[in-house]
Each structure stands twice: as C-alpha cells, then as structure tokens.
Structure 1
Amino acid sequence: MDQATVYLVDDEEDLRSGLAQGLELAGHHVLTFDDPERVPETLGRDAYGVLVTDIRMPKMDGFELMRRALEIDPALPVVLITGHGDVPLAVEAMRSGAYDFLEKPFAVSHLAAVIERAMEKRRLVLENRALRERLADSSDLDSRLVGRAPAMERLRRQVLALAPTDADILILGETGAGKEVVARALHEHGPRRDRPFVALNCGALPADIIESELFGHEKGAFTGASGQRIGKLEYAHGGTVFLDEIESMPLDLQVKLLRVIETRTIERLGSNKAITLDVRFVAATKEDLAKAASEGRFRKDLVYRLNVVTLTLPSLRERREDIPLLFFHLAREARARYRREIPDMPPDYMADLMSRDWPGNVRELRNMADRFVLGLEGFEDSGAPRPDGLFARVAAYEKSLIQAELARQSGSIKATYEALGLSRKALYEKMRKYGLGRDLDGDL
C-alpha cells in the first residue's frame, strides 16, 4: 500500500502552509494545492489518503471538488473546512458524502485527529478491496485448477505468485494432467491477459514447416513462399507463448529457440532484420528433460534456460481424494455443453472411479464425465478392469477418503475424525481395518 497522504486544498497561502506544517509535525505526509482543479488528476481509486479542502475558493468551491473526488472513488474520505459554516451547511456537506466538517477557527490537533480516524477508515476500505480482488482471482483459479489435495492447493498458490511476473516457466506433468490449463491460468491472471496466448504443440507440427510457423517468412524465402507471413512468435508479441511437448522439438530448432529466449529477438526466414519480441515463454513436457539431455535427445543449455521455475502437476492417481469433486465439476461442464441433465449416479459408480489408475489423468476423467452425462455406461467402453465386487469397491473408496483426509490434516487424528463426522473410536477401527498408519503430530 502507498504512503498515506493528506491532500490539503486551500487558496489562502498562510493558512495552507500553517496547516501543512502542523500536520507534518503530527506525522502526516501532506500534499498542498492552491488550485482545486489540479487535485482530481492526482487522485485515483487506490489513493491511500484523505482530501481536506476549504469550501470557499474562487476557481472551484469545495463542494464541487468533493463531488469530482467522489466520482473517482465514492469511499474517499473528504473533510470540508470553512470560515462561514453553519448548521444547514454542515448538514448539506454530510449528506453530500463528506466524512467530516470543521468550522474555522479550529486547532490543528483536532484536524489531525479527524484525519487519523479517516485514514484508518480508508486503510480498511483499501484492504477489503484488495482482499475481494484476491478472493475473486482465487475463486476463478479454483474453477480452473479444481481440487483440495495439498498438491493442488500448492499449485494454485504458485500460479498466483508467478502470474504477475515475466519469469519463463517449465510445466512438468503426465499426459492429460492439465499442463495447458495451468499455462492459460498463468497468462490470464497476469498483466499479459489482454494480449495473445499462442499455444504450439511441438510434437504435432511437421518438421518441414515448424520453423516457418514459429519465425514466419518473407516472400520468396523458399519454394511456395508467395508472400510475407507473420510467425507465431511474432504474433504473440506482448503475450504468452506456450510450447507444449517441448521434448519433441528437433535439436536443430532448439538452438534457434534458445537464441530467441536469450535475446528476445527473431528473424523471419529470408530476412536478416532482427525483430524485438516481448513475450513470456511457458514450456510443458511429460519427460525429465535433464535425463533427455544426458541421453543427447535435448540440449542441456535449453534445459537450463527453460527451467527458471518448474511447476510440477500431480497425476490424478496421486490426488484420488479430488476425483469426486473434479468429476462433478466436469459433469456440470458437460451438462452445459450438451444441454443434458446429469443422471443419478449408481451407488458403486464413484467407488469405481476412485479405484482406477487414470493413465490419461484429467483428460480421461473428462471423457468419462461426458459419457456419463450423455447416458452412456462408460466402464465397458473404456476397457479398464473393474474392481472385484461392490464391497471391495466401496471399501477402496472409504479407504481412499480416510487416507486423503489424514494427509490433508497432516496426520491429526482429532481433525480427521471431526472432518469425516466420525467418532475417535470409529476412525481408529477403520484405520486398523485398512492398515492405515498416521503421524500423531501431537493431536490425539
């Protein structure tokens, strides 16, 4: 939050300088104005301060200045002062939105006390606004990166911390774990949100055109280049470039990408002119790039350059406790797409979902949710083996819920049985039944 400031407006120089000196001695930072028309341009919705203004001024009276200030921010505290005050004027001032009204002459200490109360109110307003904005961002992020597992909570915190920066990021995760979703969240929660987000799958572009796709070309650069073409990197200027399956990029092109990342410039094919780029690079891979580099399949220097920050996405089987929440979130999305109601769920359906390994991760679960909403059985279609019997599936589901809650509560028995709605004895019995251990953590 910026420094607290008193915006003091009065056309009488002696009074203005005297009040300013007294307020500064009381510990306030003061900006003085003899022309009220200059004040609104210095104010903003996030201004941490109090406006103190005389009413009787030749160019603009204090009421008009207050009106303009409150148009900028209706919650800005305004203290009006006058040598011609009376009760009707005071009432009009308060009804018009003034925080307080002082009649000359008054002690500077009295004005300082009024300002201190107004400044505290302003601080609370600004803090509440910032909190609401953070909660709105967090709520939006919760709907993108769904899950209550500790790994997902950590991932959301990392995204919110990194989104406002320009740091290049490497996202590591299995197929279908949501790498592009995380990349888009980084883009849309940062200052580049209004600029392009360009996603490139390095494994899907044919080797003979990938260089032209990335860098663009000039007319006549190669056979068939009938005109100038802007490449994907140049098009993304001001925004974010998402390089998915970066491990699939040919080695010779990795050299050129490394130069682009280091210099933030490109040259179109057939041109010697360097074009400056303002882009953020987010790369994604399902492989260990360090291992790939040691095997000669990826450049070590590019690994170091991409790996400024690494975000690791958990697989779905590593956060089984999120499957019910995530499944219903995906089912609601499917309901909106297909305009179908979500069917009633068979008793053993969720236990079956919880018992799967999900090699395709969230993408595979989304397909399952789509089939469920469309009224298709799903399990037979997927070809995945079913657990043996209803009781085994229910037991596996119950065990996974207890494991997840124990992990979420850092092994605290008391917090776990309260969260699950069980007695202490019932939780201990179920833990013995399923062979679950715990970290006592001093909370029995």
Structure 2
Amino acid sequence: MSKSMKVAIVDDEKDMRQSISQWLALSGFDTETYESAEEALKGMSSDYPGIVVSDIKMPGMDGMQFLKKLKSVDSALPVIMITGHGDVPMAVEAMRIGAFDFLEKPFNPDRMTELAKKATQARRLTLDNRALRRELSDGSAIMNKLIGSSPAMERLKEDILDLGQADGHVLIEGETGTGKTLVAHALHAVGARASKKFVLVACSAFDDDTLSRRLFGPTDEDQGLPAMEEARGGTLVLEDIEAMGAALQARLLTAINEQGSPSETRIVAISNLQDEGKTIETEMRSDLFYRLAALRITVPPLRQRGEDILTLFTRLSEQYADEYGCDAPEVTAQEAAQLLQAPWPGNVRQLINVAERAVLQNRRGTGTIASLLMADSDENEVAMTTEGKPLKEFVEAFERMLIDNTMRRHRGAIVNVMEELCLPRRTLNEKMAKYGLQRSDYL
C-alpha cells in the first residue's frame, strides 16, 4: 500500500529532511523532499496521491501557515507535523486546525513509520471514494451494474451522488427487480460512511420476534452483534420495511430518536410495496415514515429506460455467452423493437433471465427472443407496453446497439467496423458521437 503513495517531506534543514526521507524510503514509501513550504505548495493539488510531513518552525511560510494553505487545497489531506522541544502547544493547535498527528523531536523513527502508514491508509480511502464518485457520475466501470444513459438513469445517478453525500435517512422505492438494493450499496459507497460497515437485513425474511432480536438483540452466540450495533457509524439497510410490525416500528423509531442528530447510523429503508390501494406511507406509522423518508429515491422501472434495455441485454448476453462458451445471439431489428416494447413486469431481474435463456437457445440453434418474451407473457402474442414509443426511438436504439456490438466484436478496429456496417469513416464518427460511443472503450 505504501509503495504507491507519496510522502512529501518539508523541512528547511537538509539533514533532517534527508534522514526522514531515507528512513521512510527504507520502509517502502515513495518520498519527495522540499526545503520550503512555498516550493512544496507548487506540487500540491486536491488529489495529491499521498501525505505531507512538515516541520513547524521554518523561515518564510512556517508550518502552521503551510498547514492552513494545504487544508484550503484539500481539507482531507493528511499532514503530520514535526515540532521541536517546547513547541507542543503549537502542535496541539495544529491538530485543532486539522493536522493528522504530530511528532516531537527527537522522535522514534518507528513511530514516524507507523503514523505514515495510518495517514496513507486514510489518504487512499479518501482518494478511492472520490474516484468512485467520479466513476459513478460517468456511469463507468466500477458501477457497471448501473448501466444506462437514459434520462431516467441519469437522474437516478445524480440522486445517488447527491443523497450519498447527505447524512439523513433514505427511503428507496420502486418496482420489484429494479435494483433497489444495488442503489443502497451505491449510496453507501459514495458517501462519507464508505469505510464503515454496510449491514443489510431483509425484514420479510423473519417474524417480528426474530427480526427484533436480529436488529436489537439479544442474538444467539453464533449470530454476532445485533444489526443496529453491527452497523454503528455505517449504514443499515432494511429491505421490505413494510413487513415490519407496529410494535417493532415503534422500537425502531425510539432507536432512531436516541441517536440524535446527526445520526450515528444511517438507515436506508427499501420498500417493495406494490399492493393496489396501499402505499408505504399508509402502511407505516407516520412518525417513523417521516423520519425514514427525509430523503427519497425512486428507482425507475425498466420500461421507462428506453435504449438502456438494449444496452443491458447486450452486456448480459455477452456475459452469459462467455460463461457458457458460446456466441451471444444477434438481435434483429424486429427483436430489438420487441425488447423495447415489452412491459417488463419483472424489470432488470426479468431481463437477466431472458438474456441467459437467449444465450442457451442460441447455443442450441433454436428459438427466438420473441418466443422468450411470449413465454413470460400471459397472452398468446408478445406483450407490448402501453407506453408508446415513436419510430425514431426504435431506429436510433437499434442503430446504437448495432454499432456498439460491432465495435465490441472488433475491439475498436474502426476499419473492420466500417466494412461490416458499410459506413464511411465520417458517418461512423458522427453516429458514435451522437450515441456517446468512444473508441477507447473498446480497445
């Protein structure tokens, strides 16, 4: 861990900064030295990949001024201060300002190494969380289960980023199979509690007595801590919150109120309530509902996600094709339209099943996607959603899928893609730009 993280050593005394650098280098750190704070500041940014070790007493900009400057650049940058004998009160003031820790000269080199390891661990966690936040906002690799660029998915990602950084309790709603638990994971991952525990409890899996013990204790010896204790400081996710009885709701409300504000443990409640005439608001006691629904996210159903359906189907069928050692099925224009028009009552979970069965059918050389959609329908024909889509949307979604699939198959080899699709280079470039496809993603 330490080898990939830098340690900037700032001290006007050459012998001191060189001795610190040599010791930390022997301990596996990547060190760089500066003789003044002014010089060191030139190499600092909000994403500096490491930590700072600085003397307090320096000519020009002293360590205290330097610390304040660094905190204005990045408030989460760990700074270890070195102080001479008799300057401990100044070091304590540095801690108040935001220093990670301090060492008094002469210090034990092993203590320096120990502090540097702790500081770099904290720094790595901060940078990883920031990278995760950026990648989620771009919809890229680390959160690739949140696939899609439809307006509905873009709004969902923005909600996750915004509410992830907030600290209130959250209520997640949506139809079965839309990915509400994944959203709960994402909320935790992009927030300040990412380094803390993520604990999930499915309320509908227990009767109220068992659920009470699971949440509040006492638990059996082999079950570990009750969930409220286990998730302390982190995130507790309560799936199927509507399954919780009235007495248990009251106990949960009491536990929440006892935490004070801000809450020690963040609660994310997930509602799967879809009974006609019922809402989560009517099924829960109002005071608990308003505590848990301080922040709300509604996960969109698959039928509202447009061309995301084809993107998801393509990715899923490729994954299953790799798993089963066969080719993924090629989707015709008619099948693409059928996928886009299907009502998807089971949402993404249903699409996963259809993609797997499509790959198995293709391996046997029998069946069509339409037959799979028909099998999932109660009708004798492929069910279509009542949410009408214009012809232009079908054409563009199919065109994007064709280009995406061909680019993947040829690993971004533009000439091969041009030949297969019979498109001139300029037209292909224009269409890729239109659909947000980048060659670098396929190399």
TM-score of the superposed pair, with normalisation by structure 2: 0.56
Could you say which structure has the higher helix fraction? 2
What is aligned with 2:80?
none
Counterpart Cα distance in 2 of 1:54 and 1:320: 64
Residues 232-265 of structure 1 show CA distances to partners (whole Å, capped at 9, x for unaligned) of 3333334322112212322222111111222149
What is aligned with 2:373?
379
- Opposite residue 398 of structure 1, the aligned amino acid is F
Instruction: Name which of 314, 319, 326 aligns with 1:341.
Output: 326
- Measured at CA, do residues 387 and 282 of structure 1 come closer, stay the same or move farther in structure 2, by a change above 3 Å? closer
Counterpart Cα distance in 1 of 2:182 and 2:5: 32
Instruction: Tell me, yes or no, if structure 1 residue 122 matches structure 2 residue 108.
Output: no
Question: Once the 2 structures are TM-superposed, how far is the Cα of residue 305 of structure 1 from its aligned partner?
Answer: 0.3
Question: Once the 2 structures are TM-superposed, how far is the Cα of residue 367 of structure 1 from its aligned partner?
Answer: 1.2
The RMSD of aligned alpha carbons is 4.5
What is aligned with 1:367?
353
Instruction: Tell me, yes or no, if structure 1 residue 252 matches structure 2 residue 253.
Output: no
What is aligned with 2:201?
200
Question: Once the 2 structures are TM-superposed, how far is the Cα of residue 195 of structure 1 from its aligned partner?
Answer: 4.5
Contact 2:197 2:232 in 1 (8 A): yes
Counterpart Cα distance in 1 of 2:219 and 2:42: 61
- Measured at CA, do residues 46 and 137 of structure 1 come closer, stay the same or move farther in structure 2, by a change above 3 Å? farther
Question: Once the 2 structures are TM-superposed, how far is the Cα of residue 283 of structure 1 from its aligned partner?
Answer: 0.4
- Measured at CA, do residues 235 and 66 of structure 1 come closer, stay the same or move farther in structure 2, by a change above 3 Å? closer
Aligned length: 308
Counterpart Cα distance in 1 of 2:144 and 2:316: 10
Instruction: Tell me, yes or no, if structure 1 residue 64 matches structure 2 residue 19.
Output: yes
Residues 203-239 of structure 1 show CA distances to partners (whole Å, capped at 9, x for unaligned) of 33234533233222379xxxxxx99974333333343
Question: Once the 2 structures are TM-superposed, how far is the Cα of residue 74 of structure 1 from its aligned partner?
Answer: 4.0
Question: Once the 2 structures are TM-superposed, how far is the Cα of residue 148 of structure 1 from its aligned partner?
Answer: 0.5
Contact 1:50 1:79 in 2 (8 A): yes
What is aligned with 1:232?
227
Contact 1:340 1:373 in 2 (8 A): no
The equivalences for 1:287-302 within 5 A come to 287=273, 292=279, 295=282, 297-302=283-288
What is aligned with 1:177?
178
TM-score of the superposed pair, with normalisation by structure 1: 0.56
Residues 354-394 of structure 1 show CA distances to partners (whole Å, capped at 9, x for unaligned) of 11111111111111112122227423432364279xxx999
Question: Once the 2 structures are TM-superposed, how far is the Cα of residue 419 of structure 1 from its aligned partner?
Answer: 6.1
SS in 1 for 2:42: helix
Gaps of 5+ in 1: 1-43, 81-110, 220-225, 266-276, 405-416, 424-444
Instruction: Name which of 293, 300, 303 aligns with 1:307.
Output: 293
Counterpart Cα distance in 1 of 2:44 and 2:240: 49
Question: Percent identity of the aligned residues?
Answer: 30
Contact 1:202 1:248 in 2 (8 A): yes
- Measured at CA, do residues 215 and 320 of structure 1 come closer, stay the same or move farther in structure 2, by a change above 3 Å? same
What is aligned with 1:426?
none
- Measured at CA, do residues 401 and 216 of structure 1 come closer, stay the same or move farther in structure 2, by a change above 3 Å? same
Counterpart Cα distance in 2 of 1:230 and 1:302: 24
Contact 2:132 2:142 in 1 (8 A): no
Question: Once the 2 structures are TM-superposed, how far is the Cα of residue 316 of structure 1 from its aligned partner?
Answer: 1.1
Question: Once the 2 structures are TM-superposed, how far is the Cα of residue 304 of structure 1 from its aligned partner?
Answer: 0.7
What is aligned with 2:190?
189
- Measured at CA, do residues 161 and 69 of structure 1 come closer, stay the same or move farther in structure 2, by a change above 3 Å? farther
- Measured at CA, do residues 308 and 374 of structure 1 come closer, stay the same or move farther in structure 2, by a change above 3 Å? same
Residues 170-198 of structure 1 show CA distances to partners (whole Å, capped at 9, x for unaligned) of 11211111100111122233454455433
Counterpart Cα distance in 2 of 1:422 and 1:227: 56
Counterpart Cα distance in 2 of 1:52 and 1:323: 58
- Opposite residue 354 of structure 1, the aligned amino acid is L
- Opposite residue 48 of structure 2, the aligned amino acid is L
What is aligned with 1:99?
none
Question: Once the 2 structures are TM-superposed, how far is the Cα of residue 308 of structure 1 from its aligned partner?
Answer: 1.7
Instruction: Tell me, yes or no, if structure 1 residue 281 matches structure 2 residue 267.
Output: yes
Question: Once the 2 structures are TM-superposed, how far is the Cα of residue 158 of structure 1 from its aligned partner?
Answer: 2.9
Counterpart Cα distance in 1 of 2:153 and 2:374: 30
Contact 2:135 2:143 in 1 (8 A): no
Gaps of 5+ in 2: 51-123, 401-427, 435-443
Counterpart Cα distance in 2 of 1:284 and 1:230: 22
Contact 1:216 1:229 in 2 (8 A): no
- Measured at CA, do residues 252 and 46 of structure 1 come closer, stay the same or move farther in structure 2, by a change above 3 Å? farther
- Opposite residue 240 of structure 1, the aligned amino acid is T
The equivalences for 1:2-21 within 5 A come to none
What is aligned with 2:10?
51
- Opposite residue 314 of structure 1, the aligned amino acid is P
SS in 1 for 2:48: helix
SS in 1 for 2:296: strand
- Measured at CA, do residues 291 and 218 of structure 1 come closer, stay the same or move farther in structure 2, by a change above 3 Å? closer
What is aligned with 1:144?
145
